[in-house]
Each structure stands twice: as structure tokens, then as C-alpha cells.
Amino acid sequence: MTFSIVARSSDGQSYGVAVASKFLAVGVAVPAAEAGVGAIATQSYANLAYRPQGLALLRTGTDAAHTVAGLTAADPGRETRQLGVVGAHGDGASFTGAECNAWAGGATGAGYACQGNILTGPVVVQEMERAWLADPPDVPLAVRLLDALVAGDVAGGDQRGRQSAALFVVTPGGGYGGGSDVSVDLRVDDHHSPVPELRRLLDLHDLYFGRPDPADGVALQGETAEEVRRLLDRLGQPDLDTWMGVENYEERSLPGAIDPLVLAKLREAAR
């Protein structure tokens, strides 16, 4: 009833899961990940205990394949389960029980595992894997995961239809203000086009929570400083920091400079 990809970033710093399904709020059940440890997707009569148990195994240094083997061996309902795991090193691993509804299967490689059940056909997983491998390794993990999910959706996805999707990524200190490791946690719980809607949300997430390269900042001097002051006056805002706080752009703050994206949004707001 679901298709997903679990993966590790090329630099080994991030882990994540992207998933879509004809199932309400699939993001509640399927994904789990821990910074420095790995990521898991449990689906097809999902065994939610796989998430903490699998992360515990990965935390000990157990590789993905042995984590899958350990989880499924201890589960009397394993033939109805589907599972994808990626750890800190090596290939990802995927398991599809013999009683999963057709079409069901997976594909794995270095740092990733794609899997799905009740799909329109094997092309869904094939296209997910193709999209994952086609993206350059330095593309952010959240984008690569979503590109793979989009490819599976376009290829047919869940044969029953579309309802929900989710994207979950962890990176050390990657959360808001650096206070957590959860860098992306987006869910579309009930929507007629959940994967495109997830793409829209990821774009907004980057706008509000992306951290600009200081080298790209435009110095708040001369004509730029004068323009920013005029725009802020037009909006009735006392200073740039106040306006950025109102608009939730504080993660894009740069000392003595302004992020070009924020400058564009300021110009747009003051039209």
C-alpha cells in the first residue's frame, strides 16, 4: 500500500526517508531516522516496533542487511511486512514478505533502499532508483529523496490511488536554530496530489529554514542599505531584523549583509 526510499547522503552526515501511499497520514507510521545511525521505513501492515528496534541495532554498528534479518527473524508476521533500512556504511537493505500484495518488491545499492507494495508495477521502484542515481551526489538529501519519490509517483505509484506523503531527514544540528537533528519533517496527511504538495512544502521549508552561504550575502552598505531602509519604511518596520522575524526568515539572517533571497522577498512585500 506504500512506496518509499530510505537513504544516506553522500557525505554520510544525513539520513532520511521519503514515502507516499493511499493511506491516511503515512508519515505517522513508516519513517524513522537518527543522526549518525541510519534510517528505516516499515510498511505493508507496518510493524512500528521495527523503528526503535532497528535504530537500536544500527546504533550498535550492525549493518543494514543484518538489521533487516534480525528484525524479521523475530517477527511472526514478517511475511506480511515490507522494510527498508540504511545504516552508516555500505549498501541499504530491503525486505518484502511473501504475503505482501502485488506488485511488491525493492531495489538496493550503496546507501539507499527503495521498496513498495500494491504498486502499479515494478517500474515504480525502477524509476525511483533511476532518479536517485541520476541526481548528483552533492544535491541535498531531502531533494534527492523527493526526486525519487516524484519519479515513483509519476510512474504510477500505489495502484489504489494517492492520499498522503512524508519526508523525514536528520542531520547533526540541522534543526531549527541548531537545537535538534531533525532537519526536515514534512507531512501531507490527506491530499488529492500529496507528492506535488510535498514538493511545495519542501520549497517553503527551504525558504524559511534554509541557511544561506555567507559568501552570497549582499553587504548592507551604500545603495543596498538605502534601498532596504526605504522598503522597510514603506512596510512600517523599524529594522530588518524585526521584519525578518515577522516573516519567519530569521534562519536566513547574515551579520552585516542580507541574503539575496530575503532581499527579493522584501522587494516583493513592499511593492
DSSP state of 190: S
Q: Which of 186, 209, 232 is the last residue of a domain?
A: 209
What is the structure's pLDDT at 193? 97
Give 251-266 pLDDT, tens digit per residue. Answer: 999 999 999 999 999 9
Q: How large is the average pLDDT for residues 118-125?
A: 96
Instruction: List the beta bridge partners of residue 23.
Output: none
What is the structure's pLDDT at 265? 97
186: Cβ–Cβ under 8 A, 6 or more apart, which residues? Answer: 27, 166, 167, 168, 198, 201, 202, 205
Q: Which three cell numbers stand for residue 259?
A: 541574503
Number of structural domains the chain divides into: 2
Q: How large is the average pLDDT for residues 52-80?
A: 98
What is the structure's pLDDT at 136? 97
What is the structure's pLDDT at 130? 98
Q: Is the pLDDT of residue 103 over 90?
A: yes
Are residues 159 and 205 located together in one domain of the fold? yes
What is the structure's pLDDT at 96? 98
Task: Return the number of other C-beta atoms located less than 10 Å from residue 149's C-beta.
Answer: 29
Q: Which of 179, 209, 239 is the last residue of a domain?
A: 209
Q: Is the pLDDT of residue 38 over 80?
A: yes
Are residues 117 and 224 located together in one domain of the fold? no
Are residues 87 and 163 located together in one domain of the fold? yes
Are residues 99 and 177 located together in one domain of the fold? yes
Are residues 228 and 114 located together in one domain of the fold? no
Give 84-100 pLDDT, tens digit per residue. Answer: 999 999 999 999 999 99
Residue 223 and residue 203: Cα distance in Å, rounded?
30
Are residues 232 and 127 located together in one domain of the fold? no
Domain that includes residue 86, residue range: 2-209
pTM for the model stands at 0.94
Give 156-200 pLDDT, tens digit per residue. Answer: 998 899 999 999 999 999 999 999 999 999 999 999 999 999 999
What is the structure's pLDDT at 98? 97
Q: How large is the average pLDDT for residues 51-79?
A: 98
Q: How large is the average pLDDT for residues 41-66?
A: 98
Q: Is the pLDDT of residue 1 over 70?
A: no
Are residues 51 and 168 located together in one domain of the fold? yes
Q: How large is the average pLDDT for residues 205-215?
A: 94
Are residues 95 and 117 located together in one domain of the fold? yes
Q: Which of 170, 194, 209 is the last residue of a domain?
A: 209
Q: Is the pLDDT of residue 57 over 90?
A: yes
Are residues 233 and 265 located together in one domain of the fold? yes
Are residues 138 and 191 located together in one domain of the fold? yes
236: Cβ–Cβ under 8 A, 6 or more apart, which residues? Answer: none
Are residues 158 and 247 located together in one domain of the fold? no
CATH number at residue 191: 3.60.20.10
Are residues 180 and 258 located together in one domain of the fold? no
